[in-house]
Amino acid sequence: MLKQSYVHGASEVPLIGETIGANFDGAVAQWGEREALVVRHQNIRWTYKELQAEVDAFAAGLLAMGLEPGDRIGIWSPNNSEWVITQYATAKAGLVLVNINPAYRISELEYALNKVSCKALILAATFKTSDYVGMIREIAPEIEQCTPGVLSSKRLPHLKTLIQIGEEPAAGMYAFGAISKMAGEGDLQRLQDLQGQLQFDDPINVQFTSGTTGFPKGATLTHFNILNNGFFVGEAMKLTSEDRLCIPVPLYHCFGMVLGNLACTTHGSAIVFPDEAFEPLSVLETVQAEKCTALHGVPTMFIAELDHPDFAKYDLSTLRTGIMAGSPCPIEVMKRVVAEMNMAEVTIAYGMTETSPVSFQSGTDDPLERRVSTVGRIMPHVEVKIVDDEGRVMPPGEKGELLTRGYSVMQGYWDDDERTAESIDLAGWMHTGDLATIDEEGYCNIVGRVKDMVIRGGENVYPREIEEYLYRHDKIQDVQVFGVPDHKYGEEICAWITLTAGETATEEEIKEFCKGQIAHYKVPRYIRFVTEFPMTVTGKIQKFVMRDTMIEDLHLDIDKTA
């Protein structure tokens, strides 16, 4: 039993001291004839050997274009085969892959490309309502007049090359398929030689983390960071070469490219993409058609699948495991996933981009009660402690900020020593900003964000507690609780609620449901019924947007009430 809230993932399974390229080649040697990648919306089905051929040719093409190890290359695209090829090809070529959020607009794109001095950008032509080609042209109109590969832009001074996914590229851009054809024997030999020169501690990936204020920060991750995290996440799911993982989460985020792609390729499993972006029906169709054994998703995705009108028509009996992560997982939703989607071994994972990302994960054989009420136990080779405001380690079961240390912690924020120093202390601990508890058996429970905690009349209120209670209401499909300014109490409780299809409810009904069941100061004063929540592309709920909306709608003056 723990005597304090400190855990260390001691393990007999060693960390992988390889680059992503070397590990991938090892996977091909072992599982070359097995299916590696299925992309339903592109009608693609490749074995490990076939995927390797695509990866090597593209990597050699990038070198032929003049890109050098250490150069940054962005990718701005929804999920597709080109994304997967790019992920492994850039790793083999020693290039730093910069993930651009598919939802980014002009100012965010310009900031990201300039922040890391991207020399090249791979982009889709369009995605949903986004005209990617139009947006990049708005920043750099010089593209239309330039020869591909020699862009000279006033606003994007470092960017030289644009590669468009698709067969007919816009003016000034290469077609994605043309890059592989540029490689000669010398380029392929150079790629081979590079494999003995690249080091597993080399930075290989920059992922921008979206903050509530200020510009995004570029978390810089190495081969060692994300390869090992992907491997141990796959170990926790007990993945084998017989498994087929359905991945509807976006690749630009760690959930897709690490917990998805790298978890698969380190275990010989098949990567299966149902669509370019999440659609509940395509997920159900894909799981049935491809006989998927595992499925990833954030809670809102699982809710959408379970509540789809045609849910009962699909055979999900092949499902076994997967990961629910990205935001707190409602207990009732977890129970339904196990009971109705046959995911008896589904796991919960917790982490952050800066830690590659997973620090805690439940096991496939953990008791269901533990899997629905905690985020599991510490990952192998990772340390975590829970501390108070003074940095002192808390006793088991006491709330405090979660700090993590180990192989998974990023190198830092790209070109931002000040913000890096604010996040990683002198002892190497990453300060997550998450409030958590660790019980005497080492199970962790995330109770909220340090900044999300509501202080009402001197009482510390944790929104997660209220959310878990409200999920018990038969009519409530999903709920988010947060604080808004109040003149009398400092802050008041607000709940945004989505109702189950066909149901109606009143504010008084919800308040009555709470009275006598939870402390009076936890009963929401403000209740709003909505059809959806503001969220990021990865499904992370943006409570600050809800808070700002309520402040404006209720005419709450922060200066007078804070």
Does any domain span residue 211? no
In terms of DSSP bridges, do strands 490-499 and 526-529 run parallel, antiparallel, or are they unpaired? parallel
* Final residue before a domain boundary, out of 199, 232, 255: 199
DSSP-derived 3-state class of residue 313: helix
In a domain, 361, yes or no: yes
Rounded CA-CA distance 190/115 in Å is 29
Would 327 be classed as within a structural domain? yes
Structure confidence at residue 538 (pLDDT): 65
Residue 516: give its domain's CATH number: 3.30.300.30
- Position 230 scores a pLDDT of 98
pLDDT greater than 80 at residue 450: no
Which range of residues forms the domain containing residue 223?
A: 6-15+218-449
Burial tier of 507 (Cβ tally within 10 Å: 0-12, 13-18, 19+): middle
CB 245 within 8 A of CB 295: yes
Indicate if the pLDDT at residue 59 is higher than 50. yes
Task: Note the pLDDT of residue 236.
Answer: 98
Confidence of residue 210 (pLDDT cuts 50, 70, 90): low
Q: Based on the fold, state whether residues 430 and 290 are members of the same structural domain.
A: yes
How many alpha carbons lie under 13 Å from residue 97 in its C-beta half-sphere? Answer: 32
| pLDDT over 70 (residue 560) | no
Neighbours of 51 (CB within 10 A): 24
Q: Residue 449 — pLDDT band, cuts 50, 70, 90?
A: confident
Of residues 230, 260, 232, the one with CA closest to residue 244: 260
Residue 403 has pLDDT above 50, yes or no: yes
| For range 264-288, the mean pLDDT | 98
192/255 same-domain check: no
Note whether 268 and 416 are same-domain residues.
yes
Is 259 within 8 Å of 353 (Cβ atoms)? no
> What is the per-residue pLDDT for 175?
98
> CA 64 to CA 89: how far, in whole Å?
13
Q: Do 372 and 289 fall within a single domain?
A: yes
- Integer Cα distance of 188 and 196 in angstroms: 14
* 492 Cβ contact list (under 8 Å, min separation 6): 456, 483, 484, 485, 486, 525, 526
* CATH code of the domain covering residue 276: 3.40.50.12780
**Rounded distance between C-alpha atoms, residue 169 and residue 176, angstroms:** 8
Domain total of the chain:
3
Return the higher-pLDDT residue of 310 and 463.
Answer: 310
Average pLDDT, the chain: 94
Residue 142: how many other CB atoms lie within 10 Å: 15
Q: Give the three-state DSSP class for 175.
A: strand
Residues 495 and 470: beta-carbon distance below 8 Å: yes
Strands 358-361 and 345-351, sheet pairing:
antiparallel
Asked if residue 30 is part of any domain, the answer here is: no
Asked, for residue 518, whether it belongs to a domain, the answer is yes
pLDDT of residue 488: 77
* Domain identity same for 396 and 503: no
Per-residue pLDDT reduced to its tens digit, 119-138: 999 999 999 888 999 999 99
Rg, Å, the chain Cα set? 24
CATH number at 55 reads 3.40.50.980
pLDDT at 558 over 80: no
Q: What is the pLDDT of residues 141-189, one digit of tens each?
A: 999 999 999 999 999 999 999 999 998 999 999 999 999 999 999 999 9
Residues 439-458 have a mean pLDDT of 85
HEC per residue, 204-227: EEEEEECCCCCCCEEEEEEHHHHH
Q: How confident is the model at residue 557 (pLDDT cuts 50, 70, 90)?
A: low
Residue ending a domain, choose from 168, 199, 230: 199
In a domain, 224, yes or no: yes
Backbone angles phi, psi at 46, to 5 degrees: -120, 145
For the segment 296-306, the average pLDDT, to the nearest whole number, is: 92
Mapping DSSP to helix (H, G, I), strand (E, B) and coil, where does residue 404 land? Answer: strand
- Which of 130, 119, 77, 126 has its CA nearest to residue 96? 119
- 189 and 246 both lie in a single domain: no
pTM for the whole structure? 0.86
Measured N-to-C along each axis, helices 81-93 and 48-64 cross at an angle, to the nearest 10 degrees, of 60
Q: Judge whether 473 lies within some domain.
A: yes
The answer to whether residues 374 and 283 belong to one domain is yes
Q: pLDDT category, 214, cuts 50, 70, 90?
A: low
Helix (H, G, I), strand (E, B) or coil at 457: coil
Q: Output the six-digit token pair for 280.
A: 């509940």
Q: How far apart are CA 152 and CA 139, in angstroms?
A: 12
Q: Examine the pLDDT at 360 and tell me if it is beyond 70.
A: yes
> How far, in Å, CA of 470 to CA of 552, rounded?
25
Q: What is the mean pLDDT of residues 277-288?
A: 97
Asked if the model's pLDDT at residue 561 lies above 70, the reply is no
- Lowest model confidence (mean pLDDT) among 169-173, 487-491, 548-552: 487-491
Look at residue 33 and tell me if it is in a domain. Answer: no
Shared-domain flag, residues 87 and 104: yes
What's the whole-number mean pLDDT along residues 24-47?
Answer: 98
| 396 shares a domain with 432 | yes
Are 415 and 298 part of one and the same domain? yes
Q: Is the pLDDT of residue 343 over 70?
A: yes
Does the pLDDT value for residue 559 go beyond 50? no
How does residue 556 score in pLDDT terms, banded at 50, 70 and 90? confident
Q: How many CB atoms sit inside 10 A of residue 242's CB? A: 11
Identify which of 434, 225, 259 has the alpha carbon closest to the alpha carbon of residue 348. Answer: 259
pLDDT at 207 over 60: yes
Question: Rounded to an integer, what distance in angstroms lies between the CA atom of residue 314 and that of residue 340?
Answer: 11
Q: Per mean pLDDT, which range of 21-35, 49-63, 170-184, 475-489 is the poorest? A: 475-489
Beta bridge partners of 323: 296, 347
Please check whether residues 371 and 518 belong to one and the same domain: no
Looking at 199, 234, 262, which one is the last position of a domain? 199
- Give the Cα separation of 116 and 74 in Å (integer): 9
Spatial contact of 521 and 457, defined as CB atoms under 8 Å apart: yes
pLDDT digits (tens, 9 = 90+) for 220-243: 999 999 999 999 999 999 999 999
| Helix %, strand %, coil % of the chain (to 5) | 35, 25, 40
**Residue 457: predicted pLDDT:** 74
Question: Rounded to an integer, what distance in angstroms lies between the CA atom of residue 272 and that of residue 251?
Answer: 12
Of 86, 75, 64, whose CA–CA distance to 191 is shortest? 64
Give yes or no: residues 276 and 332 share one domain: yes
